[in-house]
Each structure stands twice: as C-alpha cells, then as structure tokens.
Structure 1
Amino acid sequence: MPHELQQFKDLLLAHGRERGDALAIEGANERYTFKQLLAEVWLRAKALSERPGGVLVLALDNGPELLFWDLAALVSERACVIVPTFFSPAQVRHCVEQCGANLMLCQPEWEGQARQLGFVKQDAFWVREPAAAVALPEGTAKVTYTSGSTGTPKGVCLNAGAMLRVARELEAASRPSEPRRYLAVLPLGVLLENLGVYAALVAGASVLLYPQAQLGMGGASQVDFKRLLGAIALSGAQSLILVPQLLMGLVTAIERGLTRVGPLRFVAVGGARVSPSLLARAEAIGLPVFEGYGLSECASVVALNRPGALRPGSVGRPLPHVQVRIAEDGEVWVAGSVLLGYLGEPVVTSTWWATGDLGYLDNEGYLYLNGRKKHQFITSFGRNVNPEWVEAELTQSGVIAQAFVHGEGQPRNLALLWPLDPGASDEAIELAVQRSNAGLPDYARVHAWRRLPGPLTPSEGTLTANGRPRREAILQRYHTLLSDILL
C-alpha cells in the first residue's frame, strides 16, 4: 500500500478513536460521526473486496453515500471514476466504455443508461463483463475526466499518493484559519472538490455534503444564487471552494446586504482566471478569499495563496510538494504530482508536465498567470492578448454572464456578450464594458461588441461540459455576427 494512503487510513482511524462522536459528515437528511464514517466506509470496502477486480464508476449526486463509496474504493485500492453530474449521456457512455468499468453505482435516473451499457443489477451494484479488458497505468486510484476543449472527455489517471499529497497540503494551507465546517459546493466529480473534502477529513473537520439541487446548482453553469446563498448561510460553513462566477455572486450579494460574510474563514477560488477587481471587492467586504491554480494532470492544486502568504494578482506560491519552472516561451511547467497517463495513451514517463498555461514567478516565488498558450491571439499591431484575461474582467463585473473575445490579426478587439439579466439594456452592457476597459491596457480593451442571440451552451457545442468556451466552435457559429462588428 502506498505510504500516503496508509497515512490517510491511519489518520481516519485516529479520528475515530480521538473524536469518534464528533460530526464527520452531514447530508440532506443524515448525520454521521467519525466512528460511523469508519464503519460505513469499511463495510463498503468489504463489499468491494468480494467483487472481481475492475474499475468502479460512481454516478451519484453529492451526499454521504457517494463519499462512503469513494473512500471505500480508495482504501481498498480499487480504481474509481466519479462521473460529473453535468456530463451528457454521450459523455457518460464514453467514460464508462473507455475505462472498461465492470461495477457501477448510480442514481435511479441513470439506471436506463446503465442497462444500455450492458450492466445488470446485482444487490447494490450494477455489474457487467466488459467487452475487452482496459489496461490502466499501474497504481491508478482514480480516473478523473476533464472535458478540455472538445466534446470527448479525457481520462486522467492519478495514483493515491498524488491526490493525498495535495489534500494534505490543502489542509496545511488552511490550518491557520482553523475552519471546522467545510461545505462542498461543487460536484465531487470535479477533482478540486473531491480533494477539498479529503483535506477537510484530514483536518478532522465536519464535511457538509448536500445534493446539488439543494445548493441551487444545475448542470455545468446554472446557478440559483438565492438558494446557494441560503445554503451557505444556513450550513454555518466556515470554508468552501468556489469558481470565479460563484465568488462573484457571493461578493455581489454581500455588497447588496442580501447575506453576510458570517462564519466564513477560508474561501478558496480557482478553476479559471479571477479578476483582480473582484478580489479587491472581496477584500473590501472582509471576505477571506484565497486564489489558487491547478489542473487535473497535476492532481489539481499546484499553487495557492494562504494566510500569511497572500499576494493579490498572483495564484500564490507553489505548494511544498511541487516544483514550478517557467520555460523560455513563458509556459508553466510542473513537477511533483504528475498524472500516470491519459487513458488510451502512452504512460507518462517525464518528471515535468507542460501545463499549456503562460505565466511567471516573481522574486519571492509567487506565480502569476497570463492565460492559455494556445488561446493567445496577436493583433494586427503585433500585441499578444490572452482572451481569458479580458473575459474574466468582463464576466466578473456583475452585469455580463458570458464573454467571448477575439482579435486575431485585427486592429481592434471584438467581443460577443450575454448578460446575467437577459433583459439588461445595451446601455448597461456598454457601461460594464467601459468599466472593465478602464482596468486594462489599451491593446487588451474591447473596442466593439455585440449581444449574443442566446447564451453559449454545451448542448449547442459552444461550451465545454464544465462551462469553458469552445473557441473554434464559437468562431464558426458566430462568424457572421463577428464580421458585422468589423463593418
């Protein structure tokens, strides 16, 4: 058994002995102490040990049941896939077929698809005999799927050591704030949230794990902010992980007096670029926000701001378990917790991983990012612009929900915009654009824009399943609209 996994098991057992009656997990209608958590996990680990080896797929909503099976797979060293709740049926099929899963646990609404994939119900499990054995890289504990820039998710194979090192360092980073109640906002199929829960368990904190609908979360990018804000307030959460759009909603609500900072002590934000203006707004209202950076291929978190080591504008210093260097072309390279490989591709043998992100390290070791290397465009004046930078400024203004910025070979930058309020006037959108432009250098500013006819969506192919723009698809679909701006 890997050293980090043995450490994690020992720590859970120690929590059971020393704080056995303390609250470990709270779901929608259930509460479990640390003693009960251990009993539930070990019961499921035994059930898994009685089944033939193979990959376990968990197609379950957030809740204690999902966590128990996830931990059971981890401690029994069975490779596991947690399917993101926002994946389409076609993406779920791809994940299950590619990993060669022979065991599945799923919500009732997924049972029809399980049958279509050849699974048969046996006790708690859905079981099948895969058409062909799939060779996972040796030591694979979890296959996490990242939707990337195409519709077909890529299976990232990680070992237990890589994930648990990250969880341990996340716990150490938040330790000065002493959060004791951690609310899981994102689906556990998102690796960042999965490891955030592990970190809370390492700390011996209580994990609040509610169904996504209870939090107002729907699909990849649909949010009922009233319900989410209510859940955060009622849960008494002291710590949580957010993506920038969720942070923007929380900050705006606090500014408007709709909710309070309350007991929140440590709010980590990542997943996409965060506007410096949004971080400044969070600081002004006393919300303790710490921006970080990571990617699934490096077991999620690579760098993180933290109490006593906070540098606004940066994504923090690299965590102790990783090394970061900057290539000659500005690309960020990482070593320390690199993936074992992608499913269906050769095993990764290199120590260093080229992230595809552009950035630099300052003299004190803080990492700054400048967007994706492949998304950078060059204007007709020869200036390099990373559109994510501009899009973050636009979408974190509180007015614009979605932004697509383009300027390859053009004398001015163009934007396609969709407002948070579909009824917002063009004047309100223009004012938001002007405010965003005020914080940008002239070569990065939006010089002309048009309102999209409707929001970008995964179903029409203009967004990835986790809400990132598919740039080539947007250019193709809205070529005429972009051409009209140039006229």
Structure 2
Amino acid sequence: MNALADPQAIALDDGGLRWTFAQLASETHALAARLKTQGTRVLATLMDNSPAWVVADRAATEAQVVHVPLPVFFTAEQIAHALAAAGVDTVLTMPTMAARWPQAPASSCTVAGQSLAMVRLPAATVAMPEGTAKITFTSGTTGAPKGVCLDAVAMQGVASGLVEAMEPLDIRRHLCALPFAVLLENIAGVMAPLMRGATCVTLPLAALGLSGSSSFDAARFHAAVVAQQPDSVILLPQMLRVWTGYLLQTGQRAPASLKLVAVGGAAVGVKLLQAARAMGIPACEGYGLSEGASVQTLNLPGADLPGSAGRALPHAQVHIAADGEIEVAGSLFLGYLGQGADAPHRDRWSTGDLGHIDADGFLHISGRKKHVLITGFGRNVSPEWVETALRSEHAIAHAVVFGDGEPALSAVLWPVLPGATDDALQAAVETANATLPDYARIARWTRGQADFSVASGLATANGRPQRAAILALHADALGTTAPSLS
C-alpha cells in the first residue's frame, strides 16, 4: 500500500516520537495478529488522533476486520447507536473512556507506545454488504448517525487518485488537522500520504486548537503549523475562516512550507479564498461525500478556479443529471448499514447536490436539491448559495437562509465576534446583497439566539445547520411561520 516508501523513512510523527514505515508495519502486524486471535469481527476505535489510531486502521485491514471509526465528539447516544447498528464486538479506546462499559471485559493494550483499553462487547452478527471494510458514520441532518459501508477497493482508489493528481506538488509532510474518524482526513490525510511515502504528523487534536466538533483556537493551530512546517493540511471552511481572520488581526502569515491547504465539507466562497491566499495560505476548494469514499473533485495549483469545487480527480467520474443533480461514479460505497434497499446504482450515485460542470471541466455546486426554496414570486433559490455569500463577509461566522413561499429571503446570522454590532452585521448583509441578484438578496435578518452547535440543538455533530430547529426558534423575529418539529 506504500510502494513508494523507504522502510526507514518516517511514516508517523506525533511531535515527539517518530515511527518509520518498517516500524509502522511491525506495529500493524502485531495488532492484526491480536485481533485475529481474539476473534474480533467488527472493531470500533474511539480515540484521539495519534499514531495508534493509524496502526489500528491498518491492522483492521490486514486482519480483514470491519473498522468503525467513531468521533470522540459523538454523544453517548450516538455512540451506542453506532455500536449496536454495526454489531461492534471490540472497542479500542483510551482507558478513561473504557469506563463507559463497566460490565464489559477489558484488557490493556499498548499500540505505538500508547496505553489503550481493548473492550469486548457482546454483539450479535449484523448483516452488512459483502466486502465491507469500513463503516463511516455521519450524523447527516438528524441525531442518529447513518452508517456508510465502504470496501477497500473504493478507499484505495480515492487515495491512489489523490497521489496521482498531487504528484507535481511533491507532498512529503502532511499535518493531520481533522479527526481521523472524519473520512476526509482518514482517506486524504492518512491513506494517501502514506501510500506516497510521505510523513503524517499526528498530533492530539487539542494541540491543534480543536475541541469537540466545532471549537477552534486559531492561535494554537497557527503555532502548530509554524512548528511542524507541513507541506499540506486539510481544513473545514470555518477553520480556514477563523485562521485567516487571526492572521489578518495579528499581521502574521502562513508558513512558506505550505504547498496545499485543501478545504472541504461546505462551500468556501471566492472572497474567503482570496483573503486566505493573501495571508500565504494556498487554499484550494474540493468536493466529496462519504458515499463516494470521500473526495471527488479538487482545485490544485495550476488547475484552479476559485469559486468552483475543482476538476474530477483520476478515480472519479462526475456527471450532471437532467435536473441539475450531481452524480458520481468510480469509487462508490456498498450501501447504507441496515438499508439494503438503498444500495447505490451500479453505474453512478445521485448525490442530492445541485451544480454544473463548465467548459473547462470545473464543477460548480449551487446547493442541496432538497433545500431549494421557491419564493412567493416563483424564483428557485438555493439557500447555500446565499449563505456562502453571507459567510464570505468577515463579520458573519454562520448564516442560515429561509424564504420558501415568502416574498423575500430572510436569514439568521451568528457573528464572528460576540460583540459585533447590528450595524456591522447590516453592513455585511448589504455587501453580500450587492453580489446577488435581487431575488436572492436578504430583506430581513435576525441575530441568532444561540450558537449553531450540537449543544444548542441548532447543528449536527458535523456542523450542518438544523434548519427546522433554527427556523422554529427565530420564526417570530423573521416574521414567518414556524415549521412543525413533530
């Protein structure tokens, strides 16, 4: 899987200790043997980013054990749901987290120098698509995580496509900035660099300024990037927004070592990309989905169109259906866990996203098909399009747009700085409106009554807005009808 790697080259670096590719292979063989001996069928990992997580992921593949990576920011209910749905019989976790299962037998386990607990659970065999190697859970728009079943061929295909497309950049050191349980980092930030023979810098998330699913300390993150001098990093749009703002405020620049900062998970916006690049951040937007084993398109230096999601990577085929829906092929998932009837079509998968491909092959995404608003004047508007324009203004951290059946659009805004005045937010709305046609402009807005987070109930665990809940909370302020949440 890493034919380009010198066995003595550094594969993993946790900021203190390093592991060569030979040592990584040895650790992987040892854990795989233990999994086989104890009869593990489905392994869940519940731990912070670390070399041990990488070893566990590779050991599961070697032992032909299904791996279920669980984010540590999942709630207890979400974790319990995922464990039961996937038929997990073994959990590899930190000793402190093993206390969640006081009745289950647990044994100590040292992996890549880290002391862990191996918890054995009584689990029934669960039906899943043949060939399932990994089940990635995404909370989607509800609290119950949905399991996406992937095989090794699809995941390795995506990693190979990234290695091929990024070869001219000569990436030798990648800083892992997202949780490993997030498929994007798992595939593009671990599998692809190691396949090429590059070094993965695997710091604890707290050392990168990340806490929970949505708290991000840009000062700590910037210090880590400066200290580690990586060639590449993957960020979510909000992380890029906050880091760029921090550099602007402090008069600093990103390290010159950076060759690529890939940004995915949501629309980025041209203004944010331009601001980031002015600070020395080589930010490039991409697009992907769990059902396609992560990234499908990516802008790259030399093949870059800000505002687009980039061109299709070597492993991916991207099509646009007659109604504008984006369809992908080339690295499809096997199906949803427990929902065999929803298995992907043999040739392609309908993503639920709307967009178009321009004459130069760049994919442009306009929003989610199910979120399209039809105004009182009969105009179809994708709220994500307008929300991207609003979030492109420095004063606005989050924006959710409404207006279905209304004469004009309205929005709920959450400021970057808690002390931001209404005048500052109004100015930001007016600037965004100037970039939009009249039917897509914001006529009325209100400040959010709570932050958009899991704790407030206004966002999912992966940061997507809970639109119905947000509208219900702010309907009076917006002068619209609250939806039924029953």
Q: Give TM-score, length-normalised by structure 1.
A: 0.93
Aligned-partner Cα distance in 1 for 2:449–2:356: 38
> 1:239: Cα distance to partner?
0.2
Superposition pairs of residues 366-445 of structure 1, within 5 angstroms: 366-445=362-441
Match for residue 230 of structure 2? 237
State the SS of the aligned residue for 1:354. strand
Does residue 305 (structure 1) correspond to residue 299 (structure 2)? The answer is: yes
Q: What letter corresponds to residue 111 of structure 1 in structure 2?
A: A
Distance 1:271 1:52, change over 3 A: same
- Segments of structure 2 that go 5 or more residues without pairing to the other structure are 110-117
Match for residue 193 of structure 2? 200
Does residue 63 (structure 1) correspond to residue 55 (structure 2)? The answer is: no
Q: Is the 8 A contact 2:444 2:478 kept in 1?
A: no
**1:165-199 Cα deviation digits (max 9, x unpaired):** 11111122222111211001000010000012111
Superposition pairs of residues 132-171 of structure 1, within 5 angstroms: 132-171=124-163
**1:59-101 Cα deviation digits (max 9, x unpaired):** 0100111111111112222110110122111101111111010
Distance 1:285 1:28, change over 3 A: closer
Does residue 209 (structure 1) correspond to residue 202 (structure 2)? The answer is: yes
Superposition pairs of residues 102-181 of structure 1, within 5 angstroms: 102-115=89-102, 119-124=104-109, 125-130=118-123, 132-181=124-173
Q: Is the 8 A contact 1:245 1:396 kept in 2?
A: no
**1:399-422 Cα deviation digits (max 9, x unpaired):** 212211111111111111111211
Does residue 455 (structure 1) correspond to residue 451 (structure 2)? The answer is: yes
State the SS of the aligned residue for 2:455. coil
- Segments of structure 1 that go 5 or more residues without pairing to the other structure are 1-7
Aligned-partner Cα distance in 2 for 1:283–1:425: 28
Superposition pairs of residues 5-404 of structure 1, within 5 angstroms: 8=1, 11=2, 15=5, 19-115=6-102, 119-124=104-109, 125-130=118-123, 132-196=124-188, 197-256=190-249, 257-346=251-340, 348=343, 350-351=345-346, 352-404=348-400
State the SS of the aligned residue for 1:176. helix
State the SS of the aligned residue for 1:363. coil
Q: What letter corresponds to residue 385 of structure 1 in structure 2?
A: V
Deviates more, 1:352-361 or 1:245-254: 245-254
State the SS of the aligned residue for 2:133. strand
> 1:23: Cα distance to partner?
1.8
> 1:479: Cα distance to partner?
2.1
**1:275-295 Cα deviation digits (max 9, x unpaired):** 111122234444322211000
State the SS of the aligned residue for 2:350. strand
Q: 2:478 aligns with which of 459, 478, 482?
A: 482
> 1:304: Cα distance to partner?
1.1
Aligned-partner Cα distance in 1 for 2:157–2:104: 35
Q: Is the 8 A contact 1:137 1:340 kept in 2?
A: yes
Aligned-pair identity in percent equals: 44
> 1:484: Cα distance to partner?
7.5
Deviates more, 1:279-288 or 1:377-386: 279-288
Q: Is the 8 A contact 1:21 1:34 kept in 2?
A: yes
Q: What letter corresponds to residue 402 of structure 1 in structure 2?
A: H
Deviates more, 1:200-209 or 1:472-481: 472-481
State the SS of the aligned residue for 1:108. coil
Aligned-partner Cα distance in 2 for 1:238–1:167: 17
> 1:123: Cα distance to partner?
4.0
Instruction: Give the root-mean-square deviation of aligned CA atoms.
Output: 1.8
Query: How many pairs were matched up?
Result: 470
